[in-house]
Structure 1
Amino acid sequence: MDKLSAQHVVSSNRDAWNESAAYHRGNDTWQTLLDSVAKPEFSCLDSTLTALLRQVGVQGKNVVQLGCNNGRECLSLYSLGASHVVGVDQSAAFLQQARELASLSPHSPEFIETDIHQLPDLLYGRFDMALITIGVLNWMPDVAQAMACIANTLKAGATLVIYETHPLLEVFDPEAANPMLPSSSYFRREPFVLQQALTYQGETKNSVATSYWFVHTLGDIVNAAIAAGLRITHLREYPHSNREDLYDQYENQPAQLPMCYTLTAVKESV
């Protein structure tokens, strides 16, 4: 994808997320967050990510989360002992929600509005840990460029932690007549083009700006990390889902698919 097209994709994805933000308020999930974030021990992180972060060590760390959405995971990092957390997202509407949640919390994360492909210099070489969670990498038209920018936020010896959906799941359509039958190639290069509001639960909502969801193979992601000067220290695949409820049907199958993965990588000394 050429630079102009990539810029269009990033801009259109930003518009889609901004227009989708309203669908994430006024429901039980939002109310639960409002009621919960005031607790110092608040965490929405699942057991898989919590265990990995404890293993890597968050205590006293300066952490950046790339693609922080409404900031709930940024706030959760404090329960594991993070000293300071910066959340980065390109959606102003979701960062407004993040600041609202943070205002109810005893913690004080910093939120920065920017595209991951164009991170400002003030973020470079600053962090002990960078975190990427579900539904971030697939919005990146150029995963190698994004990974290089992410790696630049880390100090030498610092760690990138990824907990993402497994790219093999993109082969299947959970709403197809036969959701167990592969419906697209694992090596698909063109993005899925969407026009519905983007929601965590995957429900169909009103139309918003066009968004583009890219399939990056596990090899794409690992090689992007290596090219960015990161040394892979951990890669594990799991049979459970960490994405929309529609995908729960792929759990506990006789021929089980990998549904998500964790990866850690350390920035090599320059």
Structure 2
Amino acid sequence: MPRPPEQTPADDAAASFAPLRPRLVRLAYRMLGSVAEAEDVVQDAYLRWHRTDRAAVRDAVGFLTQVVTRLCLDVLKSARKTRETYVGPWLPEPLISPPAEEEGDDITLTLMLALERLSPLERAAFLLHDVFGLSFDDIARTLDRDAAACRQLATRARGHVRTARPRFPVSEERGLAIAGAFFEASRSGDLAGLTALLADDVVFYGDGGGKRLAALNPIHGAVRVARFFAGIARKKPAASALLAMQSIDGLPGFVSQERDGPQTTALAIEDGRIVAIYVVRNPDKLRHLPPPAAAAPVH
């Protein structure tokens, strides 16, 4: 009976790295808010893993988590400068998942935006400890700080994030029902229907990145937001096609095909009303979306 071919170093590196890739991508995405940059960072980590004396590594998960975190901190240094000159509101690249197929943590798009207000080290300490379960001793080695300093970083971050957690979270079924009703009302221009779905202090954020038409500033208040969507419907009747109801960064929402391209809409909902609307239209942030299937325009 022929002997199976011996595994090459490249085969060994790939085989040991593959089971860890989803966790590493999730960490990198939570750090960077970009699917493309997360995948680039994890690919860089794989190349370093390939060059490493893997027999000397006792904890592959810890080693690669450290590598990915440090690479992300390097990326964030330049990313922050880019976001200072970004045209209009900046939103994370939408991470899409079908209903009931979440990523295994409770970091929603709203919380991702709260993380953006943290320093890179605070963000890393919070994610590594509160989301990925690392000890502060392990985090200290990753961030090159002592454990007490890392604990303090995580505590400060936790205070910021706590205020962004919903007080009255909505069930998945109810959330998707509200998202569907919002799509219908916003595309038909139903002003009364829109107003009934919105909290009085709702905020709308549209991310076009200067590449597609979008509001340059957040729009506040139920009346102004409802009029904004009703106005779009009057100008562009029957221009939208609903492609899929999806969970978008843990929030109920949908992917739609508009006259000028695809977009994602995520809704933060509290106590049965929409408190925030996040629309991503920048085509650079939508490249990872699957190609749209045929969908009929919604009238």
Q: Same fold (TM over 0.5)?
A: no
Name the larger-Rg structure. Answer: 2
Relative to the length of structure 1, the TM-score reads: 0.27
Relative to the length of structure 2, the TM-score reads: 0.25
- Greater helix fraction, Structure 1 or Structure 2: 2
